[in-house]
A and B are shown apart, each in its own frame.
Chain A
Amino acid sequence: MNLRLLTTAAAIALFTLAGCTKTGGDKPEESATIKIGQIASMTGKEATFGQQVDDGIKLAIEEINNAGGLLGKKLELITEDTQSQTPPTKTAMEKLVSKDQVVAVIGEVASSRSMAAAPIAERAKVTLISPASTNTNVTLDKDGKTLNYVYRICFIDPFQGTVMAKFASENLKAKNIAILKDNANDYSVGLAKNFTETFTKNGGTIVEEQAYEGGQTDFKAQLTAIKAKNPEAIFVPGYYTEVSLIAQQARELGIKAPLLGGDGWDSPVLTQGAAKEALEGSFFSNHYSEQDTSAVVLEFIKRFKAKYNEVPGAMSALGYDAMNIIAKIIKDSGKADAETIAKGLATLKDYPGVTGKITIDPQHNANKPAVVLQIKDGKYSYYSTINP
């Protein structure tokens, strides 16, 4: 009895003390920098997604800091690696919002991982801005209500799926298409669903629908089943790691139809090795084209090349835009706190980004056009722009 009393007393004392340091200190010391967090797949299966976004963000921060920073302070980026997996994503997000106390977090590219981080952002009241997660549910809670602190600066799957379906029936004049989707990936499943809806509404037929699970390497069984139906094109809304293997195995089985896909294809390693020939002539939708000749894109490419000595991919462009949007909000409002950034994003209109004019809609999605790129000689060549 006595012991229990003692422990209870000790516990109460501890809690009060802990409470004291927290409330009493309020803001222990004004931090010397404005901290921005990033959760990104720097390693693992989708490593190039994270690395590219990181390049874009770092370029933006360097430019801002060289111009004197914001509100008299420098920007500081704290990057946490998600290893292309969900559990480390949650840990990374928790660390950024609690230990590092960042004012906003940029990330993840993969929709599944953004969805894992979103509830943490909402609870901690820290804005999460995904540069490239296109699944509809990323900014919504499980009841379909828009989350207050989760935003994205890219278009969403219904739009991307529709773009490719429209493209298949109008530009390719295809009637029969097969789908090979990643069943374990929210992004891929969403794209496949929206593609099917639009394509069948336009009078086309999905002759075969097959699935795989991310991380697999052998797709011959599914491709053999697809080949038997002789489709005019195959829609593969997956990520580049699997897509490059799928393309090679399809060609080897004698499938000549072009592959179609979404922005998950965008990676410098997509067309490495034998995948270069296998993907020749295939199409995918993306956020921006490096062949765009508008002034803002040309300027971005010039600066990016000066820093990294290579042509930026779409993920870098999106990272760059995300960081600059946060900076603009901080600059315009004169305040660098999570609440202000969330409000600023909600009212963002016609922001002239590298990846197009960005307007945030009431569901926190960006309204902007998509481009369709064709793979030629292992490079992405601009094919057409499709507006919302």
Chain B
Amino acid sequence: MEEFLQQVINGLSLGAIYALIALGYTMIYGVLRFINFAHGDVFMVGAYIGFFVYPFLSEALGTGYLTAIAVLVAAMLGCGLLGVVIEFLAYRPLRNRPKLTVLITAIGVSLFLEYTGQIDFVFGADYKTYPTLVERSAVFSGSGLSLGSDQVIVFVVAIGLMLLLRVIVMNTKIGTAMRAVSMNLGAASLMGINTNRVISFTFFLGSALAGAGATLYAMSYPKINPLMGVLPGLKAFVAAVLGGIGNVPGAVFGSFFIGTAETMTAGYISPTFRDAIVFGILILILIFKPSGLLGKGGVEKV
């Protein structure tokens, strides 16, 4: 029983990180109706931003929670800006082209980030050790269960950011505009909404969440490399599809589901299947409920 509960904790803390990435996929899909396949690589860049700013921040602020928060904020801002730049340079010129064109461009941007990152004077292809932001220790340990400090931080930060996102989307003017754009881009623009600004802001928000996810991920698994975004990115994408792409609570639910399913498979069946199970779930959901568990019906043509 303890073993099972421990696996649940492991799975949920992995899922919380996926959720931060999945929210970006889902929000961008929500406003623009296309899947930003470069999102996982924006996540990767977030980890490297943390890696590079840490020496300066720790010198200025010492080591401790303050620095950790500063690194998190730096990664979020950096990724947010990167997202805005990518949208402006790669996607905006194609706004009125077929969706397939934008989708292919997204894959191009993804490969561009991955392979540019591997060049020696950018990030380099070798694995780098991410700095220890917060001392790792067992916060709670008893009756066979153990909750690590990084797991607690992952939960707190992830859930905090998700609530913040909800407030922004539901209770602010720009959030209302985002929802309007996601319903109908053309109509929203006729109603006097500056759609370009709203789309830029959505990219900023989604990418910033990926930056936060990257910081939490690299803190939990402190080895980073230019291809690290591929698998978490794909899994978060599956989570977003599972929950119903374009649906914010759905992305969160899907992420926790995927994280737990993956951990349970590794723990009880075989770690060989941990990636297979995730993509198996994707195939099943596409066959039986393509709109996702919490998504609304409707035919979408990409």
Contact = CB atoms under 8 A, between A and B. Distances in A.
B278 to A, nearest CB: 12
Given A211-B270, A220-B263, A221-B263, A252 B10 contact: no
A225 B146 contact: no
A173 B3 CA distance: 27
A245 B266 contact: no
A183 B272 contact: yes
A163 B276 CA distance: 36
B14 interface: yes
Interface string A218-235: 101110110110000000
Given A248-B222, A269-B129, A228 B271 contact: no
A221 B223 contact: no
B127 A248 contact: no
A70 interface: no
15 contacts: A43-B118, A45-B225, A48-B126, A183-B272, A213-B271, A216-B271, A217-B223, A218-B14, A221-B10, A221-B264, A224-B7, A251-B136, A269-B127, A269-B129, A274-B136
Contact of A253 (B6, B125, B266): B6
A352 interface: no
A248 B221 CA distance: 9
A142 to B, nearest CB: 24
B172 interface: no
A35 to B, nearest CB: 25
B148 A183 contact: no
Interface string A59-96: 00000000000000000000000010000000000000
B266 A222 contact: yes
B108 interface: no
A211 to B, nearest CB: 6
A272 interface: yes
Nearest to B259: A218
B131 interface: yes
B141 A228 contact: no
Contacts of B148: 252-253
Contacts of B151: 252
B144 interface: yes
Categorize the interface residue count of chain B: 35 or more
Given A221-B266, A273-B132, A241 B6 contact: no
Contact of A43 (B2, B126, B222): B126
B150 interface: yes
Given A217-B221, A224-B3, A44 B131 contact: no
A382 interface: no
Contacts of A212: 271
A253 B271 contact: no
B271 A43 contact: no
Interface in B1-58: 2-3, 6-7, 10-11, 14
Interface in A190-228: 210-213, 216-218, 220-222, 224-225, 227-228
Main secondary structure of the interface of B (DSSP, over half): mixed
A244 interface: yes
A22 to B, nearest CB: 37
A44 B267 contact: no
B91 interface: no
Nearest to A45: B127
B176 interface: no
B138 A254 contact: yes
A251 B136 CA distance: 9
A47 interface: yes
Given A83-B125, A245-B221, A254-B146, A273 B271 contact: no
A45 B2 CA distance: 34
Contacts of B271: 183, 210-213, 216, 221-222
B146 A253 contact: yes
A252 B150 contact: yes
Given A213-B272, A244-B223, A43 B267 contact: no
B64 interface: no
B9 to A, nearest CB: 9
B189 interface: no
Contacts of A269: 127, 129
Given A244-B223, A254-B146, A273-B222, A224 B267 contact: yes
A278 B135 CA distance: 11
Nearest to A51: B126
A221 B272 contact: no
Contacts of A83: 125
Residue in B225, B267, B271, B272 whose Cβ sees the most chain A Cβ within 10 Å: B271
